């Protein structure tokens, strides 16, 4: 397992790099001193609400030492450096530990902007890889320090759970779209951040194709992934199938680094013999034998604890409450998660638009960097980059504004003219002075059909639904009022 490990760790470094690179441009606007949900305020409120030192456990982050803009950028920069070192195979065990610590520190204070399963996936993979990576500064293939069986199993176990649990929730949710195989009919336009190839797949492919892809998804997630526990030839075949599936998803949608991470976890289905066959050459590797030491036993205890925590859903159904302790203790660290992607398919696409005004009569639009907005603009391809602000607005649009109060806070920051929040948008429609009022408007979007696309060049058609959170303006007393 030396070549698969080598490739997996290099790719994991690139996944971490994409996550930290995205935070460079967003973290101050999201949780900075003048951001939407300042991390310093959050940690202060948590420390007051949770006495003693327990608050350190509820929010495991380096930012307890300081959560200003400089501290945020310092941790993100450290994560960037560590991810590059991991990708270059420089001190991989230390590098992946630093990556995981820095990313955990950010996720612990991102609040509403870290409620994604992909964040848990990356933290779990990073934590297990601390034990999986070879020791040394320049270990090359790490033949002197082969991967332990338990760390390899735990990474494969994560890969399996991502697929299988996602398949289970699709059926358990009772969503008729999966039972009727119509889940993919409008999938490409209704996802969080569509990509332009998705327009062609949705509008030009017949229904039987979409039904076949929905069926294939269920077959892979509920059936094919069990090849993990079969002899190697079945695992290699499984690798080929799931790789093709992930490449198709990557090509037609923007799910940040999620699919890239699942893709590289699949590399661990292979072995050195498979790599020798793929590259048509021998792979001369002489691996050392791992001897049981106190560190080895410590690794088994820690990863065994994580394994028990991943069984929480099953143990809960069986009524084995005492065995849920590992899951409860590890919950703040998000290294033992339950997964379940696309349990329910959204039936419509809504978008929240911010508009500002100085007189309450003429309104100017704040343009997004990544979300659909201008019907004439082609949807972009930018994964594995994750625009958390744009992403969260899609989730907010699916419910009433009171479920996403941070949207109103964003309106407040725009009235204040916060430069870090304005940087989350493509442009500033009020360059001289900020507006006195900001409102949010809800739109519904559809892909145009092929005939309309040829005639007008438009990728989208849209219809205004009405106010989302309403109009926010300053009061005489200097506060804010929503109406």
Nearest 5°: the CA angle 266, 267, 272 is 145
CA distance 144 to 134: 8
Residue 199 lies in a domain: yes
Q: Identify the burial level of 111 via C-beta atoms within 10 angstroms of its C-beta, where 0-12 means exposed, 13-18 middle and 19 or more buried.
A: middle
φ, ψ (nearest 5 deg) of residue 447? -65, 140
Q: How many Cβ atoms from other residues are within 10 Å of residue 427's Cβ?
A: 13
Is 173 in the same domain as 267?
yes
Is 55 in the same domain as 77?
yes
Q: What pLDDT is recorded for position 291? A: 61
Is 80 in the same domain as 161?
no
Is 419 in the same domain as 282?
no
Q: Which domain holds residue 383?
A: 350-482
pLDDT band at 51 (very low <50, low <70, confident <90, very high): confident
Q: How many Cβ atoms from other residues are within 10 Å of residue 408's Cβ?
A: 20
Q: If we measure between CA atoms, which residue out of 259, 301, 266 comes closest to residue 151?
A: 301
Cis peptide before 384 (omega within 30 of 0): yes
**Mind listing the pLDDT tens digit for each residue in 430-478?**
998 999 999 999 999 999 999 999 999 999 999 999 999 999 998 877 7
Residue 330 lies in a domain: no
Is 265 in the same domain as 154?
yes
pLDDT band at 289 (very low <50, low <70, confident <90, very high): low
CA distance 355 to 439: 5
Q: Is 39 helix (H, G, I), strand (E, B) or coil?
A: helix
Is 130 in the same domain as 182?
no
Residue 386 lies in a domain: yes
Is 215 in the same domain as 269?
yes
Q: Is 411 helix (H, G, I), strand (E, B) or coil?
A: helix
CA distance 449 to 394: 23
pTM of the model: 0.95
Cβ proximity of 396 and 407 under 8 Å: yes
pLDDT at 279 over 90: no
Is 167 in the same domain as 264?
yes
Cβ proximity of 444 and 385 under 8 Å: no
Give mean pLDDT, residues 362-378: 97
Cβ proximity of 201 and 188 under 8 Å: yes
Give mean pLDDT, residues 362-375: 97
Is 162 in the same domain as 124?
no
Question: Based on the structure, what is the number of domains in the chain?
Answer: 3
Q: Is 40 helix (H, G, I), strand (E, B) or coil?
A: helix
Residue 74 lies in a domain: yes
Is 285 in the same domain as 174?
yes
319 contacts: CB under 8 Å, gap ≥ 6: none
pLDDT at 278 over 80: no
Q: How many CA atoms does the CB half-sphere of 159 hold within 13 Å?
A: 30
**Mind listing the pLDDT tens digit for each residue in 204-255?**
999 999 999 999 999 999 999 999 999 999 999 999 999 999 999 999 999 9
pLDDT band at 122 (very low <50, low <70, confident <90, very high): very high
Q: With the C-alpha atoms ordered 330, 334, 339, 345, is the resulting torsion angle positive or negative? A: positive
**Mind listing the pLDDT tens digit for each residue in 166-194?**
999 999 999 999 999 999 999 999 999 99
Helices vs strands, H then E, count in the chain:
21, 5
Q: What pLDDT is recorded for position 80? A: 98
Percent of the chain scoring above 90 in pLDDT: 86
Cβ proximity of 315 and 399 under 8 Å: no
Is 160 in the same domain as 285?
yes
pLDDT at 317 over 90: no
Q: Identify the burial level of 207 via C-beta atoms within 10 angstroms of its C-beta, where 0-12 means exposed, 13-18 middle and 19 or more buried.
A: exposed
**Mind listing the pLDDT tens digit for each residue in 384-397?**
999 999 999 999 99
Residue 178 lies in a domain: yes
Higher per-residue confidence, 167 vs 314: 167
Helix or strand (DSSP H, E) at 358: none
pLDDT band at 321 (very low <50, low <70, confident <90, very high): low
Which domain-ending residue is among 247, 269, 290? 290
Residue 52 lies in a domain: yes
Q: Comparing 39-43, 71-75, 457-461, 478-482, which segment has the lowest mean pLDDT?
A: 478-482
Which domain-ending residue is among 147, 170, 205? 147
Residue 473 lies in a domain: yes
Q: Where are the alpha helices (DSSP H) in 223-324?
A: 232-252, 258-265, 272-278, 294-310, 312-317
Q: What pLDDT is recorded for position 98? A: 98
Nearest 5°: the CA angle 197, 201, 206 is 170
Residue 307 lies in a domain: no
pLDDT at 290 over 70: no
Which domain-ending residue is among 147, 182, 216? 147
Q: How many Cβ atoms from other residues are within 10 Å of residue 388's Cβ?
A: 23
Is 132 in the same domain as 195?
no
Q: What pLDDT is recorded for position 392? A: 97
**Mind listing the pLDDT tens digit for each residue in 407-417?**
999 999 999 99
Q: What pLDDT is recorded for position 295? A: 81
Cβ proximity of 124 and 335 under 8 Å: yes
């Amino acid at each position: 397992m030396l070549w698969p490990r080598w490739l997996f760790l290099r790719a994991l470094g690139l996944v971490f790099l994409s996550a930290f690179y995205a935070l460079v441009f967003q973290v101050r606007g999201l949780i900075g001193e003048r951001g939407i949900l300042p991390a310093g305020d959050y940690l202060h409120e948590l420390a007051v609400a949770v006495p003693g030192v327990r608050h350190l456990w509820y929010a495991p982050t380096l930012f307890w030492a300081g959560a200003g803009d400089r501290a945020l950028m310092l941790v993100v920069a450290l994560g960037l450096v560590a991810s590059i070192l991991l990708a270059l195979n420089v001190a991989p065990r230390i590098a992946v530990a630093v990556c995981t610590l820095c990313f955990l520190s950010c996720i612990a204070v991102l609040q509403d902007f870290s409620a994604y399963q992909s964040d848990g996936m990356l933290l779990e993979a990073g934590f297990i890889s601390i034990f999986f990576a070879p020791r040394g500064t320049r270990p090359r293939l790490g033949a002197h320090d082969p991967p332990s069986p338990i760390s390899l199993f735990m990474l494969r176990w994560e890969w399996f759970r991502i697929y299988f649990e996602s398949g289970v929730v699709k059926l358990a949710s009772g969503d008729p779209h999966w039972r009727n195989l119509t889940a993919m009919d409008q999938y490409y336009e209704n996802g969080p951040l569509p990509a332009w190839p998705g327009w062609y797949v949705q509008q030009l492919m017949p229904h039987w194709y979409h039904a076949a892809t929905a069926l294939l998804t269920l077959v892979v997630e509920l059936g094919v992934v069990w090849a993990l526990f079969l002899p190697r030839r079945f695992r290699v075949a499984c690798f080929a199938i799931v790789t093709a599936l992930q490449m198709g998803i990557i090509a037609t949608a923007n799910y940040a680094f999620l699919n890239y991470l699942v893709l590289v976890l699949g590399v661990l289905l292979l072995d050195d013999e498979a790599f020798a066959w793929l590259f048509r050459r021998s792979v001369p590797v002489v691996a050392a034998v791992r001897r049981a030491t106190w560190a080895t036993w410590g690794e088994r205890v820690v990863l065994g604890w994580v394994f028990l925590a991943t069984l929480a859903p099953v143990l809960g159904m069986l009524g084995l409450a005492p065995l849920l302790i590992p899951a409860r203790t590890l919950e703040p660290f998000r290294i033992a998660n339950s997964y379940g992607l696309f349990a329910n398919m959204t039936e419509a696409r809504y978008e929240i638009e911010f508009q500002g005004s100085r007189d309450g009569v003429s309104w100017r639009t704040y343009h997004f960097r990544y979300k659909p907005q201008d019907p004439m603009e082609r949807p972009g391809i930018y994964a594995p980059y994750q625009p958390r602000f744009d992403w969260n607005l899609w989730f907010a649009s699916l419910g009433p504004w009171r479920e996403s109060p941070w949207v109103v806070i964003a309106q407040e920051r725009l009235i204040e003219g916060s430069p870090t929040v304005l940087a989350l948008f493509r442009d500033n429609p009020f360059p001289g002075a900020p507006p006195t009022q900001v409102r949010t408007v809800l739109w519904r979007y559809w892909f145009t059909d092929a005939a309309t696309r040829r005639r007008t060049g438009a990728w989208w058609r849209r219809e205004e639904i009405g106010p989302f959170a309403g109009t926010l303006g300053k009061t005489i007393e200097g506060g804010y009022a929503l109406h």
